[in-house]
Amino acid sequence: MQIALSVQNVIKKFGDFTAVDNVSFEVPDGGFFSILGPSGCGKTTLLRMISGFIEPSAGRIEIRGRDMAGLSPNKRPVNLIFQNLALFPMMSVAENVAFGLQRRREKKEVIEQKVAEILARVGLPGFGEKKIHQLSGGQKQRVAIARCLVLEPAVLLLDEPLGALDLKLREQMKVELKKLQAQVGTTFVYITHDQSEALVMSDKVAVMNSGRFEQIDTPPNLYNNPKTPFVARFVGDNNTWSGRIIACTQEGPGEIVAEIETAEGERFRVRSTDRFAPGAGVDLFLRPESMLIEPDADIADLNRFQVVVKSILFDGANSRLLANPLTADTELLIALPQNRQYDYIQPGDKIAIGWHAQAGICFPKV
């Protein structure tokens, strides 16, 4: 498969401050690649280097195998959807979409036809004559996408395009965007700080933290096998529990199980990222949904302990219990399935919790 975009060891410095620090990745043609990271981690800076608005301090950016160094944004076969969309308010929808085609001096009939086609494709047929201020947020979103897609770029860059929309619309656009991308087959590079957007839409996600890529992986891998504590914390919810190593055992190729003791004196067996020396401090990451409430006594190989329920955080399908282990005040979030099985649980109750060694992961303490 052809590589649409290749970024190699790109660095961007603003004075002493390194905004993007040695980032490398490749996106195959037709791929949906997301960059997920907290605000200020350098996502926009990276995207602006790909689109040509800023030059990297070092490194190489190739699009379809062609080096982009020194090429201005209007000469690059990529288009950027801006964080605030940047639709031209002085033009109608059709003029906005036709803008790039006119710059290419395409024939008038061709332009008209392409504009009509792409507007139909993004679900806005017949909207050409409308003014930008007459559109709703979601419609503006689609116009911005149409305006870029009509140019058939090698790569479409999207800078948090759903950020300004309300929650319901965002959920809906998320699905639509993914469908649209599959239909048109354009390569998407999508940046966001919303993990759900990244996980739902992408083939591959890169997690970015203060200028660096922490991990590039498929969404399930990112969730299930985080490579760094940052990824474990940032992608999905996680409980952190500090403890120390008692022993590490190799249980198969690349599969290490550590026996740890938490500060409260609980002993667990848990998957480990490395063979740590006994006594080393570690952080144990445990997802709310990997803890089972009152597990059957005959399930083997479960880490078991007791907690006291502090409160019930009801949030529909995402409901949680807030609980403390018996002996300490470490706070744990435990998923509370809304299948009526656990309706009896009240704040103050003492309940048993069990989890499988493979469901947690431990990293060296930082």
Ligand X SMILES: Nc1ncnc2c1ncn2[C@@H]1O[C@H](COP(=O)(O)OP(=O)(O)OP(=O)(O)O)[C@@H](O)[C@H]1O
42 binds ligand X (CB under 6 A): yes
The set of residues, in sequence order, having a beta carbon less than 8 Å from that of 185 and lying 6+ positions away, is: 30
Q: Quick one: 208 or 284, whose CB is closer to ligand X?
A: 208
Cβ contacts of 253-257, under 8 Å, gap ≥ 24 = 257/357
141 binds another protein (CB under 8 A): no
The mark string for 144-173 relative to another protein (x by CB under 8 A, - otherwise) is ---xx--x----------------------
Q: Which residue is nearest to ligand X (CB)?
A: 44
Q: Quick one: 82 or 223, whose CB is closer to another protein?
A: 82
- From the CB of 340, what's the least distance to another protein, in Å? 51
Give dist(CA 226, CA 233) in Å, integer: 9
Q: Choose among Mg ion, another protein, ligand X, none what residue 41 binds, the Cβ cut-off being 5 to 8 Å by kind.
A: ligand X
Residues near Mg ion (CB under 5 A) are: 44
Site size with another protein, rule: CB under 8 A: 22
Residue in 1, 42, 50 with CA at minimum distance from that of residue 25:
50
| Cα-to-chain-centroid distance, residue 227 | 15
Residue 327 phi, psi (nearest 5): -95, -5
88 binds ligand X (CB under 6 A): no
Mark the segment that binds another protein (CB under 8 A) among 77-85, 229-237, 280-288, 319-327. Answer: 77-85
The set of residues, in sequence order, having a beta carbon less than 8 Å from that of 158 and lying 6+ positions away, is: 80, 81, 188, 189, 190, 191
Q: Choose among another protein, ligand X, Mg ion, none what residue 80 binds, the Cβ cut-off being 5 to 8 Å by kind.
A: another protein
Q: Quick one: 79 or 273, whose CB is closer to another protein?
A: 79
Strands (E), the chain: 3-14, 17-28, 32-36, 58-63, 66-67, 78-81, 155-159, 187-192, 204-209, 212-217, 239-250, 256-262, 267-272, 281-286, 292-293, 302-313, 320-325, 332-335, 350-356, 360-364
Name residues contacting ligand X, limited to 192-221 (CB under 6 A). Answer: 193
Q: Quick one: 14 or 88, whose CB is closer to another protein?
A: 88
Helices marked H in the chain: 43-51, 93-103, 108-121, 137-149, 167-184, 195-201, 219-224, 229-234
Q: Quick one: 45 or 272, whose CB is closer to ligand X?
A: 45
3-class secondary structure, 358 = helix
Site size with ligand X, rule: CB under 6 A: 12
Name residues contacting another protein, limited to 80-139 (CB under 8 A). Answer: 80, 82, 84, 86-90, 99-100, 103-104
Q: One-letter amino acid identity for 276? A: F
The mark string for 10-49 relative to another protein (x by CB under 8 A, - otherwise) is ----------------------------------------
| Cα-to-chain-centroid distance, residue 346 | 35
The pairing of strands 292-293 and 281-286 is: unpaired
Residue 339 phi, psi (nearest 5): -110, 25
Q: Quick one: 39 or 74, whose CB is closer to ligand X?
A: 39
Name residues contacting ligand X, limited to 12-31 (CB under 6 A). Answer: 14, 17, 19
The pairing of strands 32-36 and 187-192 is: parallel
Give dist(CA 35, CA 205) in Å, integer: 6
Mark the segment that binds another protein (CB under 8 A) among 71-79, 112-120, 322-330, 353-361. Answer: 71-79
- From the CB of 363, what's the least distance to ligand X, in Å? 24
Chain contacts with another protein (rule: CB under 8 A): 51-53, 72-74, 79-80, 82, 84, 86-90, 99-100, 103-104, 147-148, 151
Q: Site residues (CB under 6 A) for ligand X?
A: 14, 17, 19, 37, 39-45, 193
